[in-house]
Chain A
Amino acid sequence: MGKNGAAPSQAHVVGASLPRIDGYAKVTGAAIFADDIALPRMLFGKLLRSPHAHARILSIDYERALRHPGVVAVAVGGDLPARYGILPSAQDETVFAIDKVRYVGEPVAGIVAEDELAAQQAAALIEVRYETLPSVMSIDEALLEVDGSGEKIHPESRKANNVHKEVHLTFGDLDAGFAAAERIFDDEYFFEGNTHAALEEHSAIASFGADGKLTLWSSTQTPHYLHRVAASVLDLPASRIRIIAPPVGGGFGGKTEPVAHELAAAHFSRKTGRPVKFTLSREEVFYTHRGRHPVRIHLQTGIRSDGSIAACRLQTWLDGGGYGSYGVATTYYTGALLPVTYKMGAYAFDGCRVYTNKPPCGPKRGHGTTQPRYAFESQLDEIANALGLDAGAYRAAIAIDPYSRTINHLRVTSCGMREALSAVAERTDYSEKHGKLAPGRGIGLAASAYLCGAGLPIYWNPMPHSGAIVKVDRGGGVTVFCGTSDCGQGSQNMLAVIVAETLGIDILDVSVCAGDTDLTPVDLGSYSSRVTFMAGNAARSAALDVRERIAAAAGAELGIAPERCAFENGRVFDRKNPDRALSFVDAARATEARFGTLAGVGSYTPPADLHGDFKGSGVGPSPAYSYSACVAEVEVDFETGEVRVERIVLAHDCGRALNPRIVEGQIEGSAYMGMGEALMEESAFRNDLHRIPNLLDYKTPTILDTPRIDAIVIETKELEGPYGAKEAGEGPLNPVIPAIANAVADAIGRRIYATPITPERVLQALDGTAGPLRLRAPIAMKTT
């Protein structure tokens, strides 16, 4: 291995567990993240945030703050009045609150100074007068009609309560389905909200150049969407804005939409003529949030005598926090992907998102599908137990078939769920253990499915979802340009793998230029597990464009038809006579001599026939779905209620694994994150405030809490994916949480209907003081 850990070159890059091209820089600290960037004369910014959950802003006086030594400028709501939001249907935020605040921590003003401490101290000198309003802190309260003593969180809403969005979809004949059912299982669950907890706090640096153009570096997963919103909020042509996404230190969905500090940095740089940096504190990250929605779930499933699902009705209530964010999509997602795993006779979904006076919720790994998946897989466990069926075999029996359509019209292609189910069951002897372990020990199983990229963009447009340029240098170096943002998942490496494989060259001869709107074609961003699939297809297509030209030129040099040219090991050779060959460098030079500058372009647009034709059909379709299954083994301490996870075996169908080691890393990370959500993570509030906005008190597992994890890569051939690949970034998370919940139920003989499964909840379940959840208010949603 060389200094940078590279293995010797080999014939095929795809399928080889080569070290990541960016791995060495990241483990040695050489990688430059957003906050590492420092520019001459740079100012530092700080946001003043609301101390009230719900209040009218009466006045803001910042004269004292402006006089504080080192302070250069202050801005408030009126300075940047344009409303924005990630979804076209939810343009409900401004950079600084105007007229009212909707959660503790909402930005009210911004300040920039010569150093960060001065900005921090001066922010405290800004005097804001508020008139407080009654706050709404729960789903129950938000569903109540607002009377004269209160005010709706968004007064312009036409609803009488704080409901943001309702969704009602029915597929098949639900009544007939339930009538045909032999048994109906009817349960309620609550999935607690939690946050991304990425290592890197958000950071943005803005600089207006002498040419009047803005460059904005930001730790964003979606440089293209930031580009659009920055143009609109700053009222600047997009052509004068360059967004650069440096390597992102973890995103998990928390950096997928433009937020205040990025736009504030740009505003202040324009105003002061100096570079401006904003780096959030950890507490501010908790307020910026956009994390997992708390969701209350009502699930009714009718089972035929053979165990098959005759009908399923899912109702979800999402606690959205103060603003829309991705919430409409999240609401649809709570219902859209449930039928992607199992065949159903009929399916109805009612979703309802409410506004509350908390930091806005949005997408976290598994976006909206994680919560109902927990409920559904918990209930399936109860069904299997009630029917006396093995949980793994039962799921395999009702599993969706490859190359079929779901009850909600989604197109399913490759599907390795049955293989994943048997892999985890066999590896753990699940069938021999379940229900038979000593008291306090338990084993649980669950399965899931996920998208390989959303089938539709966030704003409607007929353009590709991802584009790439591949350029070949005369020295044989190949650069791939693509608008992706690497949030640690390995998307840069993936682009290099695909281009190296397509051109038959060493991966170290490929450079990746990503996430720079001046240099790279648009990619919609690192969300919905779309990058390997969509950017991968775009890069492959661009590399094929180049390869065709090289084949034509090299074929002429070698005196063979272009189709006979093979590309491997840095050589272009005659497939029928491999000794007739050119080096890749010579072939590239010959091509440039013959055709001019050597670069190729490629793009990817998902097929149009992925979904049905109904309102709401745009959320859920994907060109392919990944499948996963998990078995967790736990030991429960009956006296303290502590749950110790002893082992997690997690199998994931990622299509073809482009780099198995990275896939395993994603699987392990999913097991770890899922375990935290299952057992300890909690967005907890007290007196309208986040109770513990820091990573000491907000618990995530440490390495000492993390058990042995067996990551099993299940490979299927996905015809639509680049070299057969699907996704691995989000899907493996979903089954972990219900697998642990099912293991705890097996261990203690009682089910806990809420997350996280804290020691206190375990003891309540053992005491019999915590029965199944029951909705306090009658179900208020329309049921049509």
Chain B
Amino acid sequence: MLRLPAFEFQPARSVDEAVTLLGEHGDDALPVAGGTDLYANMKLGLFAPRVVVGLRSITALRSIRFDPQHGLRIGALCSLDAIVREPAVAEHYPALAQAAAMVGTPEIRNMGTIGGNLCLETRCNYFNQSAEWRKAMGYCLKRDGNLCRVALHSDTCKAINASDTAPVMHAYDARLSLVGPRGERTVNIREFYQNDGAHANVKRADEILTEIALPLPARGTRSSYRKLRLRKAFDFPLLGVAVAVATDAGGSCTQARIVLNAVGSAPLEVEAAGAILLGTHLGEEIAADAAEEVFKAGKPLENANASLLYRKRMLRVIAQRALEDVIAPLR
């Protein structure tokens, strides 16, 4: 069977210790939380850190706190399962509970953390393969090669952001706290991801993601996450659509965010779709117009387990359904 390459495991008991360890070992080190992503990738020879800095013992990062004034603060080491079970999440951020519940399998949700899911390595049919397979196929831009096998003329890697929770966090306007040797900085999630599969986020090698803060949604906010996949568990999204809309007392839309995942290396907010909804009384027809914008904006490539054409076509369908989820309660 496949074996993990040898590495030194250094557990950190505090954020400071983790940052120090990562700083000490530089590019030779990688942080690990639940390990459901990193260890599988290490077995495939995709990463070979000399030192793995364990974050699981940093108990301070395992809390979820809800404050009716300021919203939700989630420690990055909260398991996905803990998020699914948190009443404040279900009540105020239901799409997050939906998305977290759709990740992997119960085992993966028990081990996997929210921080890990947000920092999930981008995925691609040409990348998530063994060393032998990649050698036989020819290496790619993301690892060991200089050619993107999905888009041969592309200068950047086209691997997919397949995090179920990322588009939802984006729709909720999350702010992420990153702690490094120079202290803590906070970035909005829209600045966190970048559309380059080989450098998918701005977290530096010596930083760790410590906390996710979600502002209190505006009164009357409804949200939903829809995931297209080939089976009901143990499957990354072929396409994900997160929707959050707010309406005023008169039923007029005051805020609308529609965010896609699995169609690029970063979550993609389709602002044109949100703009269509603003100021309207949300209804099926306007939802169809917004879904049309989603269809135009999403540009899947041939690098997942369904064809490009199918995923393109599903943009409209899945967006329409996500929008109907938030419109239906109005009627």
Contact (Cβ within 8 A) B125 A692: yes
Q: How far is the CB of A763 from chain B (nearest CB, A)?
A: 7
Question: Which residues of chain A from 715 to 761 have any CB-CB distance to chain B below 8 Å in the complex?
Answer: 758-760
Known interface pairs A51-B135, A120-B2, A689-B133; A704-B125 also in contact (CB < 8 Å): no
Q: How far is the CB of B13 from chain A (nearest CB, A)?
A: 29
Partner of A120, one of B3, B136, B137, B307: B3
Known interface pairs A116-B3, A692-B305, A693-B133; A699-B230 also in contact (CB < 8 Å): yes
Contact (Cβ within 8 A) A279 B125: no
Chain B minimum-CB-distance residue to A641: B310
Q: How far is the CB of A713 from chain B (nearest CB, A)?
A: 29
Contact with A along B298-326 (1 / 0, CB 8 A): 00000001110110011001100000000
CA distance in complex: A697, B128 (Å): 10
Q: How far is the CB of B36 from chain A (nearest CB, A)?
A: 12
Partner of A699, one of B6, B136, B231, B318: B231
Chain B minimum-CB-distance residue to A53: B136
Q: How far is the CB of A312 from chain B (nearest CB, A)?
A: 36
Interface check B131, CB cutoff 8 A = yes
Residues of chain B contacted by A686 (CB below 8 angstroms): 125
Residues of chain B contacted by A699 (CB below 8 angstroms): 230-231, 235, 305
Interface check A49, CB cutoff 8 A = yes
Partner of A704, one of B5, B6, B231: B231
Partner of B125, one of A680, A688, A691: A691
Partner of B136, one of A115, A689, A705, A763: A689
Contact with A along B207-231 (1 / 0, CB 8 A): 0000000000000000000001011
CA distance in complex: A283, B135 (Å): 14
Q: How far is the CB of B313 from chain A (nearest CB, A)?
A: 7
Question: Which residues of chain B from 66 to 114 have any CB-CB distance to chain A below 8 Å in the complex?
Answer: 105
Partner of B133, one of A201, A283, A696: A283
Interface check B132, CB cutoff 8 A = yes
Contact (Cβ within 8 A) A640 B314: yes
Known interface pairs A51-B136, A760-B306, A763-B310; A680-B230 also in contact (CB < 8 Å): yes
Interface check A34, CB cutoff 8 A = no
A-B CB contacts (within 8 Å), total count: 82
CA distance in complex: A131, B116 (Å): 44
Contact (Cβ within 8 A) B317 A640: yes
Interface residues on chain B, size class: 20 to 34
Residues of chain B contacted by A639 (CB below 8 angstroms): 317
Known interface pairs A51-B132, A51-B135, A639-B317; A281-B234 also in contact (CB < 8 Å): no
Residues of chain A contacted by B6 (CB below 8 angstroms): 117
Residues of chain A contacted by B313 (CB below 8 angstroms): 763
Contact (Cβ within 8 A) A704 B305: no
Partner of A104, one of B1, B136, B235, B314: B136
Interface check B232, CB cutoff 8 A = yes
CA distance in complex: A201, B234 (Å): 19
Question: Which residues of chain A from 102 to 130 have any CB-CB distance to chain B below 8 Å in the complex?
Answer: 104, 115-117, 120-121, 124
Interface check B130, CB cutoff 8 A = yes
Contact (Cβ within 8 A) B234 A689: no
Interface check B330, CB cutoff 8 A = no
CA distance in complex: A276, B7 (Å): 26
Known interface pairs A640-B314, A699-B305; A281-B230 also in contact (CB < 8 Å): no
Residues of chain B contacted by A688 (CB below 8 angstroms): 136
CA distance in complex: A687, B135 (Å): 13
Contact with B along A268-306 (1 / 0, CB 8 A): 000000000001111100000000000000000000000
CA distance in complex: A763, B306 (Å): 13
Contact (Cβ within 8 A) A687 B232: no
Chain B minimum-CB-distance residue to A697: B305
Contact (Cβ within 8 A) B1 A705: no
Contact (Cβ within 8 A) A280 B317: no
Chain B minimum-CB-distance residue to A104: B136
Q: How far is the CB of A766 from chain B (nearest CB, A)?
A: 12
Contact (Cβ within 8 A) A640 B307: no
Besides A283-B132, A701-B231, A702-B234, 8 more A-B contacts (Cβ < 8 Å) are A115-B3, A116-B3, A121-B5, A281-B2, A640-B314, A641-B310, A680-B230, A760-B309
4 nearest CB pairs, A to B: A51-B136, A704-B232, A117-B3, A702-B233
